[in-house]
Amino acid sequence: MMHNDWQRWVCYLSLALSLLLMLLPLPMALLPLRPWWPALVLVYWVLEAPDRVGLGTAFITGLAADVLAGALLGDQALRLVVIVFLAQRFRARLRFFPMVQQSAAVLLLLLNDSLLRWLIRAFAGLPLPPLLAWAAPLVDAVLWPFVFLLLDGLRARMRARES
C-alpha cells in the first residue's frame, strides 16, 4: 500500500514537472529542437509501471499539455496516446533492450510522432513545423538515457528508504 502510494506520487510529480519543462524558454533558433519531455517520462512509466500509466494517463497528460501550450486542443493528447500505445505493445521487448537500443526505439517512436504531428497540422491548417523540427526526435533519443537513469535512481532511492 505504502509502496503504491509513493510510486504514484513520484509518477504524477514527474509528469507535472515534464509539463513545466516543456514551457522552458529556449533561444529562437533552437525552438524547433525542443525536447518533448512528457513523452519521455510517459514512456519510462509505461515500461516500469504499466499498471499505473496507460492510455488514460497519456490522454490526460496530453490534454494538460494542450491547455498549457495551446495550439490545438487534443493534438498532443492524440500523439501521446499513440506513443504510449506503441510503447505498451512492445513493452516486453523494450524493457530488456540495452540502453542504446532503447534510445533507438525512442527515436523511432518520436519520428513516427513527427509524421503524425505533420499530418495533424496539415489537416488543421496550422503553420507546419520547420525542417529542423524533424531533428527533434534525435534530441529526445539522446536525452532518453538521462531521463531513464534519473527516474530509475529516484525510484531505487525511494524503495531503499521504504525498506
Partner 1 sequence: MVLSRDGSASLFAASAGGTLRLAGYLLLAVALMMLDHHDDWLPRVRSATALAVEPAWRLAGAPARWLSDIRENLTAQSSLRRENRELRDALLLANVRIARMQALVRQNDQLKRLLDAADSLRMQGQLARVIDIDLDPYRRRLVLNRGARQGVQVGQAVVDAHGVMGQVIEVLPNTAVVLLVTDPSSALPVIDARSGVRAVAYGSGSGDLLSLPDLPINADIKVGDSLLTSGLGGRFPAGFPAATIVTIVADRSGNYLRAAARPAARLDRSDQVLLLRDLAEPMGPPAPVIDAGPPSSLIGPAPAGVGNASTPRAARNGARR
- Contact residues: partner 1, CB under 8 A: 19-21, 23-28, 31-32, 34, 54-56, 58-59, 62-63, 66-75, 77-78, 81-82, 85, 88-89, 92, 120-121, 124, 126-130, 133
Q: How far is the CB of 132 from partner 1 (least distance, A)?
A: 9
**Cα→Cα distances 116→14, 32, 129, Å:** 25, 16, 12
Q: How far is the CB of 43 from partner 1 (least distance, A)?
A: 16
Give the closest residue to 133 by CA, choosing from 29, 37, 58, 42.
Answer: 29
Spacing of C-alpha 10 from chain mean position: 15
Query: 53 vs 155, which CB is nearer to partner 1?
Result: 53
Q: What's the CA gap between 40 and 10, in Å, rounded?
A: 15
Residue 71 neighbours by CB under 8 Å, 6+ apart: 126
Query: 65 vs 148, which CB is nearer to partner 1?
Result: 65
Query: 49 vs 133, which CB is nearer to partner 1?
Result: 133
Query: 85 vs 145, which CB is nearer to partner 1?
Result: 85
